[in-house]
A and B are shown apart, each in its own frame.
Chain A
Amino acid sequence: MSRDSNITKIIGKDNLNKLRATKCLLIGAGGIGSELLKDLILMEFGEIHLVDLDTIDLSNLNRQFLFRQRDIKQPKSTTAVKAVQGFNNSKLIPYEGNIMDTTQFPLHWFGEFDIIFNALDNLAARRYVNKMSQFLSIPLLESGTSGFDGYMQPIIPNETECFDCTKKETPKTFPVCTIRSTPSQPIHCIVWAKNFLFAQLFAADINVDSNSENKDWGTTDEDEIKRIKQETNELQELQNIILSGDNSLIPKIIEKIFIHDIEKLLKIENLWKTRTKPIPLNINDIKTDLTDRDLDLSALWSIQDQIQKFSSITSKLMKRMEEEDNHIEFDKDDKDTLEFVSTAANIRSHIFNIPQKSVFDIKQIAGNIIPAIATTNAIIAGLSSLVSLRVLSLLDYAKISKPTDLNMTFTTKASNISQNRYLSNPTLAKPNCNCPVCSKVMRGVMNIPSNIFKELKLKDVINILAAKYNFDTEELSILDTTGQRLLSDFDFDSLDEKTLEEIKVVPGSVILVTDETEDENGMGLKPLELYIEAKDINIGKISDIALPDLKIPLVQMTTPEEQNNESSTFETAVLQTNEVINLDIDDDNEDLKKRKLQEESSNATQNKRSKHEEDDMEIIEEDDIIELD
């Protein structure tokens, strides 16, 4: 018996040879990525290209089994490739870099792969890779985990739902009013401490123009101007204290934010008609003990300890401001910034009669930490590698007649959705016809000789596009999607005479071209998204520009005003998660994500669920323990 005898029994000799000739792209060498790399190697994939931009951290080691204590701070991709050498038989190529870097990873580079495995930890990169898979029609196996929850979804471009066909959860935000005036939960105080107080004191631009004499105050009333100036200047004053480096002024900061500001809020009686009034700190509690003491980070501290710690940390940060160019960003792994935010949040909680939290807990909320474990990652990676056999048609006895026969899957037992199924495995849905990525636009590649970017004018591009696709030049709008930059439209032509180089339309840019002409029924030409690629020919001419041969259909453009309600908006149900609250997307962990159930999309004419899935839904209902809140 040989190394490949087991897999040969499962897929056969011919298919094994096909697998050995398969070139795959694995994006991410973290939790799911480490697991996938192992699985794909043992399955004998011919070539595996592994991309990751990250370095190894201590908190990775509870699940990323290819890494050790000694590897901390080393790049993940190259370290992973070294770690698997003992059992590896495939050709492995590691890359350190961001998958969205168009210089390192241009579209034609993606084009070399037969299949893409996503093992990413953030929404932006997932969306980007999904788009690349759509441009090139390469199958994508998308996956993600968050604690006990995980999902895996095969995406077959044009045939099945793409990543953006369903609405994605976005980080939770809170009304300004709640954060600034009427907090009622610990999270409100943490957001205030991190996004307002810390940002204003340590990470704001120092050159605020509020002192300029000719500012338009919106009033000529001297008293009013004085009052407004005072409001805006108060923050400036706090900043000045921080910048002064004068420790003796720290009680002033505490007095201002934990006494005076609260007293001001109390004056607005309407706020407290139905709410518990906050109680400002007692001036006698403010002491100037700046010794840095070590306290238990997983315990709750007394208010005296909070104030003392707040003072000593502020003093420490003031000193650091001098050394760090007057700018410190919040970082959950920077103990000083974390303890500043924790103590400030807890003092505010104390004032508003809200439960306090330990530094350990606040780190999770403020740092947007998502729990991650080895087991869920192993299961999801196993499912992703397993389904690739059917996506690549390598299981002769389980051939699919159409891509929507493939299964996606998500955890149900561990996620408390079902007690009698470990996983749910619905078949794939067809693309959502309202999907902004795969359905609302046409897609193609525009090849431009690399030497003419510095002479080709935007106007030339408009004319070439109009000639090729029969667009009306007067009604054409051109957008650079990479920076949400409008380059030209009916009311904006001042850039038309500029060259592509001047307006920074470069290889890797994706432009959205829309002819805004509509007939009386609101029908118009479907928008076209073009990926700009550089063609390397010696001396290229305008006539060497290549555009895709597409027949652009007429579609409903804007929705008529009277129908403009929820039903015309892109919406589908998502399963909410109760565990973690996201403050922003600066996350270095597994993306917060839970897989939606296969709900009917907003449009009844498509997305007809297959028989199998209908059965699935009914089974869940029989279980009677589904939670969709």
Chain B
Amino acid sequence: MSQAVQTGKLSADEIALYDRQIRLWGMAAQANMRSAKVLLINIGSIGTEIAKNIVLSGIGNLCVLDDNVVREEDLGCQFFLEKKDVGKLKVDVCSPKIKDLNPRVNLTVDSDSLANKEETFFKEFDLIVATELNRDQIIEVNKISRKLNIALYVTGSNGLFSYIFVDLIEFVSEEEKLKTGRATIVGEISSNKTIVEVDTRVDDDDPKKIFEMIKTKNTYKPFKEMLQSATLEGKLTKRQTKRVNSILPLTISYLTTIPSSVEELQKNTIATCNKLGLLPSILKEEYIQQFYKQVNVEFAPVAAIIGGAVAQDVINILGKRQSPLNNFIVFDGITLEMPIYEL
């Protein structure tokens, strides 16, 4: 258990409230989280889950940007919303509920359109989580996040299927792990990750236990570049290549071009497979059909899983612990498969 070096300025009340997580990530990480400023773009089903998770965990400042009004169908997948809210601005409905989850959080809401937001608006944030955006919006936000050197998470769902894109530009993570067998060595471990430093530490309690403190440099690609040049060639073994889930090329293809028919989706996705270095034969017919049928559909359990994963990574990088996600994750709600690809 990592003991905080500086206990920061956490009050006794905060320590009591956050007890069960401080025991996981220590007081220093908890104090770091309190000073963080996060921008959440759109509060749909996944956005709701992310807001809930990071606010409960004690993120200091959250701004929610969303110009949508509550629709009838939102009631089936967003737990902040009630029937009487239909037609109202989402941020107005969600704001008191988010605040109530954890009154310590400094919450601001903004019902302006994303398109109206200038670069200066984004400046004050440490991190942006964007949900339910289309290709051009993602590229636009990503351009700004890169320019301002802000971490960016993008996520969206298509019924039972979902994705997460991460651009932390460059991020050095430190993790501690129990040494078993051979030692970890410095050097490249995958296309986007390089181990830059390894230190060891003997456990206080049990001198037989040796921990390795590993510093890993993660590099990332902008969204636009990923869509244009992403490939898995040379990154996977032959067997792994054959087992790539259909949801990966389907998602990439859909993010690149919105098709007007299922046939077009199929055609585009075959092309995507070729670009990614995958055999089109991995595509499963029922997945193409269902993906098309379920595009942009929101579903509570999937939102809970993806919202949980994104929020966890946000907490990790703000607390500066554990290796972050890098860089494209898909989820298949049928088989519960959730692979992480370096694209």
Contact = CB atoms under 8 A, between A and B. Distances in A.
Contacts of A381: 301, 304
Contact of B17 (A61, A186, A376): A61
Contacts of B340: 413, 419-422
Contacts of A65: 52, 56, 101
A239 to B, nearest CB: 31
B304 A379 contact: yes
A361 B100 contact: no
B336 A387 contact: yes
Interface string A34-45: 010011011110
Contact of B20 (A39, A41, A369): A369
A421 B297 contact: no
Contact of A186 (B57, B78, B205, B304): B205
Interface residues of B, number: 84
Contacts of A514: none
A66 to B, nearest CB: 9
Contact of A398 (B21, B56, B334): B334
A578 B16 CA distance: 24
A4 interface: yes
A25 interface: no
A376 B57 CA distance: 12
Given A379-B305, A414-B312, A420-B339, A42 B323 contact: no
Nearest to A418: B340
A86 interface: yes
Contacts of B205: 185-187, 355
A13 to B, nearest CB: 14
Interface residues of A, number: 78
Given A1-B71, A86-B82, A383-B301, A416 B76 contact: no
B336 A423 contact: yes
Contact of B82 (A42, A58, A87, A187): A87
Nearest to B73: A1
A416 B321 CA distance: 12
A7 B307 CA distance: 18
Contacts, number: 226
A382 B302 contact: yes
B286 A397 contact: yes
Nearest to A84: B79
A376 B56 contact: no
Nearest to A147: B24
Interface stretch (B222-230, B235-243, B266-274): B235-243
A59 interface: yes
7 contacts: A62-B17, A62-B21, A360-B15, A371-B21, A382-B303, A387-B336, A422-B329
Q: Which 4 A-B pairs have the closest CB atoms?
A: A382-B304, A42-B300, A378-B308, A379-B308
Interface of A: 1-7, 9-10, 35, 38-39, 41-44, 58-59, 61-63, 65, 68, 84, 86-87, 147-148, 185-187, 298, 355, 358, 360-361, 364, 369-379, 381-383, 385-387, 390, 395, 397-398, 407, 409, 413-414, 416, 419-423, 425, 578-579, 589, 615, 618-619, 622, 627, 629
Interface of B: 1, 3-4, 7, 15-21, 23-24, 27, 49, 52-53, 56-58, 71-73, 75-82, 100-102, 159-160, 175, 177-178, 180, 190, 193, 204-206, 209, 237, 239-240, 243, 286, 289-290, 293-294, 297-305, 307-309, 311-312, 315, 322-323, 325, 329, 331, 333-341
